[in-house]
Chain A
C-alpha cells in the first residue's frame, strides 16, 4: 500500500464507522512517518471537533457584530455600493444582489436558533433573540419592492399581497415557536415560512432580470 492508497482508504474507513485500520494500513503507517503524522493530526482534529460540538454557540451579540461589519463593508446595505466584489453579478442583479446572502444569513441564523431550541439547557428566549437579530421584516421588504418597482401595477399588487401573507406567516410561526420551543412542527413551520419568503425574493429577482 502506498501513501495515495492509504489516504483513499482513510476516507473509506471514516465512512464505514470502523475504528481501526487493516493490516496493510497499519503496516504502511509503521513504515511511513508522513502518513503516520497525518493520521495523528486527523485524530486530534476529530477529538477537538467532538469537544467543539459541546461548546456554547456564539451569542446573539456575535451575530449582531457580524451584521454590523457586513453593513460597514456595504455587503448588506440597501444602497448600491461604490464598488462590487463581483462586478458582473452586481451589474445584472442591481440592488438585489445582496438579497441572497441576506437570505442565507437569515436561514443560517434561524437554523442555529432552532438548534439551540432543541437543546434542553438553552431553550426558549435565545431562539427568538437570535431570529430577531436579523429580522427580515425590517431588512428586506423595501428592497423587494424596489425590485418590482418597474413591473405592471397588477404584478406589484400581487407581490405586495404575497409579501404581506408571508410576513404574517412568519409572525404566526414565530409566535408558536415562542410559546412552545420544543414543538418540532412549529420550528419546521417557521423554517418553511422563511423559505417561502426567500422564494418570493428569488421570483422577484428573476422577474427584474428579464
Chain B
C-alpha cells in the first residue's frame, strides 16, 4: 500500500513536471549597428536589459505556457520584441520573462504591466513604462531616462549626466547618485527619496501631491534650494543663505528657500508637495 508521504511526493512531482513541460525557453539573435533601437512589450512578466559585448542583441525569453508567443522583428537598426497573448491567456499563463543583451549605446524601450523592469550599464536612452511594474535602472550615463508607472516602485541608482523624468502616481521613487541637466520626479501620492549631491548646474524638481519628499545630501553640496509644502511641513537640517525673493510666501514651517555651497556651480533644486512633508537632510559620514 502506498504511504501518504509517497503519494504526496508523486503529486508534487507531477505538478512540477507539468510546470516544466509548459515552460519553454526561446533565444533570438540580431545584428545591429551603432545606436540601435530595441523595444520589448510584455504584458505580463519581467524584462531585464544588460549590455552585450558586441553589436548584437540577444533575447532570452522564458515562456510560462503555450498560451503566449514571442513575436520578433528587425527593421534596419531597430529590433521589436512583443509577447503575443493567445486566447485564454491570463496573468499567469501569459507571463514571459525576458533577459535581453543590447549594445551599450542602444536606445531601449520596455513595457510591462506587472513584471519588474530593469536596465543597467547602458549609455543609450532608456524608456520604461508599466502600470504595476517595479522599475530599477542603474549605472546609466549620458542618456535620457524616462519612467512611467502607476503604483510600481522606482529605483534609479548611479545615473550620470542624465535627462531623467519619472512620472509615478502612487509608487515610491528613490534616486541614488542621480545627476544631470534635468532630474524631474512627479508623483501624486508616492514618496520621493533623493540621495546624492545634486550635481553641477542641473535642474532638480521633485514633486509629490501628498507623498513625503526627503533629500539627503552632503554638506558640501552647491545648490539653490526652494522647498514648499502647501498644507504639510518642511524641515531643513542644513543652513542655507536665505533668499529674499520667491514666487511663494515663505511661511515658517511650510517653506524655505536659500543657497548653499558655491553659487557659481550650483544646481537649482525645487521640492514641492501639497500635503506631504519635506525634509532636507545632511548626509552623515556613514551614508
> Which residues in A have some Cβ–Cβ distance to B below 8 Å?
152, 155, 158-159, 161-162, 165-166, 168-169, 172-173, 176, 183-186, 189, 192-193, 195-196, 199-200, 202-204, 206-207, 210
Contact A193 B169 (CB under 8 A): no
Q: In chain A, what residue has the closest Cβ to B149?
A: A203
Q: Which residues of B170-203 are within 8 A (CB) of A?
A: 170, 186-189
Q: Does B210 contact A (CB under 8 A)?
A: yes
CA separation between A162 and B131, bound complex, in Å?
Answer: 11
Could you list 12 A-B pairs, sorted by A, with CB under 8 Å? A158-B150, A162-B150, A165-B170, A165-B210, A168-B210, A183-B247, A185-B247, A196-B209, A202-B148, A203-B129, A203-B148, A206-B131
What residue in chain A is nearest B270 (Cβ atoms)? A185
CB within 8 Å of A: which B54-107 residues: 85, 91
Instruction: Decide: A196 and B272 in contact? CB cutoff 8 A.
Output: no
Task: Indicate which residue in B132, B167, B228, B248 contacts A158 across the interface (CB closer than 8 Å).
Answer: B132
Return chain B residues, CB-CB under 8 Å to A200. Answer: 150, 169
Given A166-B169, A183-B247, do A203 and B150 touch, yes or no (CB 8 Å)? yes
Given contacts A159-B131, A193-B188, A196-B186, 12 further A-B contacts (CB under 8 A): A158-B131, A158-B132, A158-B151, A159-B150, A162-B170, A166-B169, A176-B230, A176-B274, A185-B248, A196-B187, A203-B148, A210-B85
What size tier do the contact residues of chain B reach?
20 to 34
Query: Which has the most chain A C-beta neighbours within 10 Å: B91, B169, B247?
Result: B169
Task: Report the Cα distance A23→B187, complex, angstroms.
Answer: 55
Q: Which residues of B contact A (CB under 8 A)?
A: 43, 85, 91, 111, 113, 129-132, 148, 150-151, 167, 169-170, 186-189, 207, 209-210, 228, 230, 247-248, 272, 274-275
Which secondary structure dominates chain B's binding surface?
loop
A199, B169: Cα distance in complex, Å: 9
Contact A172 B275, beta carbon cutoff 8 Å = yes
Q: Are A210 and B43 in contact (CB under 8 A)?
A: yes
Contact B247 A184 (CB under 8 A): yes
Q: Is the CB of A169 within 8 A of B150?
A: no
* B230, A165: Cβ atoms closer than 8 Å: no
Find out whether the CB atom of B247 lies under 8 angstroms from the CB atom of A189.
no
Residues of A within 8 Å of B148, CB to CB, are: 199, 202-203
Contact B113 A189 (CB under 8 A): no
Minimum CB–CB distance for A185 against chain B, Å: 5
Among residues of A, the one whose C-beta sits closest to the C-beta of B274 is A172
Nearest-Cβ distance from residue A209 to partner chain B, whole angstroms: 9
Nearest residue (CB) in A for B94 is A210
Chain A residues near B186 (CB, 8 Å)? 192, 195-196
Structural contact, A207 and B167, CB atoms closer than 8 A: no
A202 nearest in chain B by CB position: B148
Knowing A161-B170, A173-B274 are in contact, say whether A206-B247 is a contact too (CB < 8 A): no
Cα–Cα, bound, A203→B111 (Å):
10
